[in-house]
Structure 1
Amino acid sequence: MPVPETAGVVGRSLLRDDAYRAIRDAIVDGTLTPGERLNDADLARWLGISRTPVREALARLDEAGLVRTKPGRYTMVSPLDVRAVRAAQSVTSAMHELAVREALPNLSAAELDAMRAANNRFAAALRANDVDAAIAADDEFHGVAVTACANGAVRTVLDQFTPLLRRLERLRFASLSGRGSVAQHDRIIALCAAGDVDGAVAATRTNWQTLAPLLETPGE
């Protein structure tokens, strides 16, 4: 399996959650490609850890839909499943809408400033064609409401379904159409600052629906 040559890229104290994130990110950014067979010994060598946390991470990735496993036969990176991604997009959008609805009544000026700063970083990353930085800044922007709503169930659901959307987000933020999200973020901030709960929720829904066209296939 053509995993990166650099060995020991993470500390020996790596836990299964860290292994999960490392392998997940490699799938999302295309280092590990759809259909590629995964060998836990190769992954363990790449990460510089034992095979046990790698196996546990692969089990989680299977549950998340990013890998497919046939016990005793193979583990492979899942092809893009349009139906599964559509479901993930709907659930993720709903969770972000709920986060805004629950957070907004108590959203502080400092949190609004954090959203503005994240959106500025997002815009700069898009101008620089830095997709990784754009995704990180987008996460920071939406993460303000997720943290402020203090609803652990929202974060749990997002942790489960957001990884399925990453390949779509990379496509969007690598294109000119992704720059429309900057203005959408600005509108969300303005509505939050005005205390318009329904308006902010609707604007959040609109923002997350921008991924939908990437799931359209000819003939639909």
Structure 2
Amino acid sequence: MPVPQGRGLAPRSLLRDDAYRAIRDAIVGGTLAPGERLNDSDLVEWLGVSRTPVREALARLEQAGLVQTKPGRYTMVSPLDVRAARNAQSVTAAMHELAVREALPNLSTAEIEAMREANARFADALRRNDVEAATAADDDFHGVLVTASANQALRDVLEQFTPVLRRLERLRFSSLSGRDSVAQHDRIIALCAAGDVAGAAAATRANWETLAPLLNTDTPGSPG
């Protein structure tokens, strides 16, 4: 199994959550491709941790739909499951809409400005065809409202389901259709600045639903 280059990339004190995030990001980013076999020993060497946090991280990734395990036989990166992605999209869109509804009544001028700044970085990353930077900026944009909602349950749901969609979004942000999100973000910002809760919530849901064309393709093994 090819893993990211380098050994001991994280300190020995790496915790289970850190191991989870490192493996998750390698899957979402495409370094670990759909169908890739995951060997505990390779992951242990790469992360520089013991087998226990690796196994716990893999169990969590299986719950998130990013890893499949056949006890005693193999653990592998899940193929891109279109049905699972559709389900994740529905849940994620609903959670972001809820975040807007809970955050907007008390959203500050500084938070509005943070959304503008994140969208500017997002647009710049798309112009440079930098998918990693575009994804990070998009996370920051939506993260303003998620954080402002102060709803931990909402954040936990998004933590579970967003990675499934991020594999799809890497395809979208690397295509011209990803440019549409910049204008959609601008509309969300304008509606938030105007205090239009219903309008901003609807625009946010619509933004997440633009992944639909990718979900309508029968390519369950496509890399994200």
Which bracket does the TM-score occupy, shorter chain normalised?
over 0.9
- In the other structure, the counterpart of 2:5 is 5
The count of aligned residue pairs is 218
How many angstroms apart in 1 are the aligned matches of 2:52 and 2:60?
Answer: 13
Q: Distance in 1 between matches of 2:148 and 2:6?
A: 38
Alignment of 1:76-87 (within 5 A): 76-87=76-87
Which residue identity is paired with 1:134?
A
Match of 1:138 in 2: 138
In the aligned structure 2, how far is the partner of 1:176 from the partner of 1:217? 17
> Would you say 1:212 and 2:212 are equivalent positions?
yes
Aligned partners of 2:141, 2:109: CA distance in 1, in Å? Answer: 14
TM-score, length of structure 2 as denominator length: 0.96
Give the superposition deviation at 1:30: 1.1
Match of 2:139, as an amino acid? D
Tell me by how many angstroms 1:73 deviates. Answer: 1.2
Tell me what 2:95 maps to: 95
Using the TM superposition, give the Cα deviation of residue 48 of structure 1 relative to its aligned residue in structure 2, in angstroms.
1.2
Show the counterpart of 2:30.
30
Q: Deviations over 1:93-140 (max 9, x none)?
A: 000000001110100000000000000010111011110110000000
Q: Which amino acid aligns with 1:161?
A: F
Matches within 5 A, 1:113-128: 113-128=113-128
Paired AA for residue 41 in structure 2: A
Match of 1:46 in 2: 46
> How far apart are residue 4 of structure 1 and its match?
2.6
Higher relative contact order (CA 8 A, sep 6+): 2
Structure 2 CA distance, aligned partners of 1:73 and 1:145? 43
Report deviation, 1:205: 1.0
- Provide the rounded CA distance (Å) in 2 between the counterparts of 1:136 and 1:167: 13
Distance 1:104 1:140 in 2: 16
| C-alpha separation in 2, matches of 1:188 and 1:36 | 38
Q: Note the C-alpha offset of 1:49.
A: 1.2
**2:69 counterpart SS class:** strand
- Helix, strand or coil at the partner of 1:79: coil
Identity %: 80
- TM-score with structure 1 length normalisation? 0.97
Deviation per CA, 1:171-201, whole angstroms, max 9, x where unpaired? 0100111011001000000000101111001
Q: State the distance in 1 between where 2:9 and 2:188 align.
A: 38
Distance across 2 between alignment mates of 1:147 and 1:86: 25
3-state SS of paired residue (1:195): coil
Query: Residue 201 of structure 1 corresponds to which residue in structure 2?
Result: 201
Post-superposition offset of 1:5: 3.4
Alpha-carbon distance in structure 2 between the residues aligned to 1:199 and 1:13: 46
The one-letter amino acid of 1:86's match is: R
Amino acid at match of 2:191: L
What is the CA-CA distance between 1:12 and the residue it aligns to? 1.0
Distance 1:2 1:195 in 2: 49
